[in-house]
Structure 1
Amino acid sequence: MKYTYLAFAFIFAIASCQEKDVPENILSEDQMVNILVDIHLTEGFVQSLSIPYDSSKVLYPILEKQIFEKYGIPDSVYIESLEYYLRDVSKMEYLYERTIDSLTVREKNFQE
């Protein structure tokens, strides 16, 4: 009986770790990380400018739109993808770990 429970627990653990089917209109993890990196770089750039807060509120959406154009997606696809990944905390944490790693590598390369 004890082994039956262990077997069910093992099967459940394996099943829960399997990749769930991602809907067709959702960005891949790699695309999402790349866009998140660009968004964070853009946010940092806008914050570093010596311009009034009101001006930065106008500038950032323009630059954000350029990011979506760069990747050939509408903002609605990004928002829908973000909402999709936010439903799975561990997945979103993983995506942000990758995003932070990418930003760290860029910063290190910039400093060298």
Structure 2
Amino acid sequence: MIRNITILLVFQLLGETVARGAALAVPGPVIGLAALFVTLLVVPGLAERMRDTADGLLAHLSLLFVPAGVGVTAHLTTFAEAGLGLAAALVGSTVLAILVAVGAFVATARLTGAHRDD
């Protein structure tokens, strides 16, 4: 398990190094995750060996949101002052994201010739 976590951290470090070294707008962990994905495709045995570690991390993923919750409670006055605007932005962006996803789905269905069975 320690070896697998080390592999994950090395890929994150690699991504951070590339992102900062090349001054990219893409976050380092995203680059590292893409490199890990490619590596797992090329070396399928590595994917199988890391499965238990990945499942363990995903099972406890909710723990990673604790810092965000603490951040929210640390800025309660900000939420009190701008709460209505924040709520409107949250609801509006959610609705917009759903509409864009539907539009992309419909466009893809039309481009691929998929049709509805009546």
- State the TM-score, normalized to the length of structure 1: 0.31
Which protein is richer in helix relative to its size? 2
Comparing both chains, which one has the higher relative contact order based on Cα–Cα distances under 8 Å and sequence gaps of 6 or more? 1
Structure 1 or 2, whichever has the larger Rg, is 2
- State the TM-score, normalized to the length of structure 2: 0.30
